[in-house]
Amino acid sequence: MIRRIFLTAVTVGLMACVFHDPYRLGNRALEQRQYEEAVRHYQQALAEHPDDLRIRNNLGVAYLRGGHDDLAFQEFQKILARRPADAKAHFNLALVYYRQGLYDRELEEYRKTIELDPDHFDAHVHLGHASLAKGLEADAVREYEWVLKKNPNYLSALYNLSLLYEDRGRTQDALSLLERYRTLDPHGPWSAKAADRAAALRKRLSSHP
């Protein structure tokens, strides 16, 4: 009985530590999309641990998601001044550039992220999207193919790569991707358009055996 009471007391004590840890409170607020509250907790955590780059990164993310692009930019730049090879900060900086409409710089930062962390999945996804938007179709194809090797069910990569394959005359490959897309997301916002495109591709293939 004594041992059980002791263990309970320890558990409660640990939970109390979590609830009073501003970094963890900031993370919880960030997950709940309470960005102003997250900023407040991260600022408190930084006051206690000014050299902790994890806290600074999350503060930048909270600023970015809360629409404070300039403040987010400052935090990510502070990280890179201390640690230039921080892939996470480069990726987040790319998101800031996207929000600011600086698309060439956005591309640069995604590429830098991948150079530092070749398996950074989100950087490959975003580089695919950004390359497609800029008309860099060969780059977009490369990135989407990489994404689908890692996750064959990634919807936006399936759909966009099907468009690129269709443009390149790879009709059967485009159709296969569309059919997979429709199987995975039969009632999604793009499902009707995917069905129309798939029907057109099947007709094209049947008329050119």
User: pLDDT for 126-184, tens place per residue?
Assistant: 999 999 999 999 999 999 999 999 999 999 999 999 999 999 999 999 999 999 999 99
Q: 105 Cβ partners below 8 Å, 6+ apart?
A: 94, 97
Axis crossing angle, helix 155-167 with helix 191-207, rounded to the nearest 10:
30
User: pLDDT for 166-177, tens place per residue?
Assistant: 999 999 999 999
Question: Quick check: 209 pLDDT over 70?
Answer: no
With 0-12 / 13-18 / 19 or more C-beta atoms within 10 angstroms meaning exposed / middle / buried, residue 144 is buried
pTM: 0.85
Determine phi and psi for 136, rounding to 5 degrees.
Answer: -90, 75
User: pLDDT for 35-52, tens place per residue?
Assistant: 999 999 999 999 999 999
- Please tell me the predicted confidence (pLDDT) of residue 29: 94
Comparing C-alpha atoms, which of 142, 65, 70, 148 is closest to residue 111?
142
- Please tell me the predicted confidence (pLDDT) of residue 138: 97
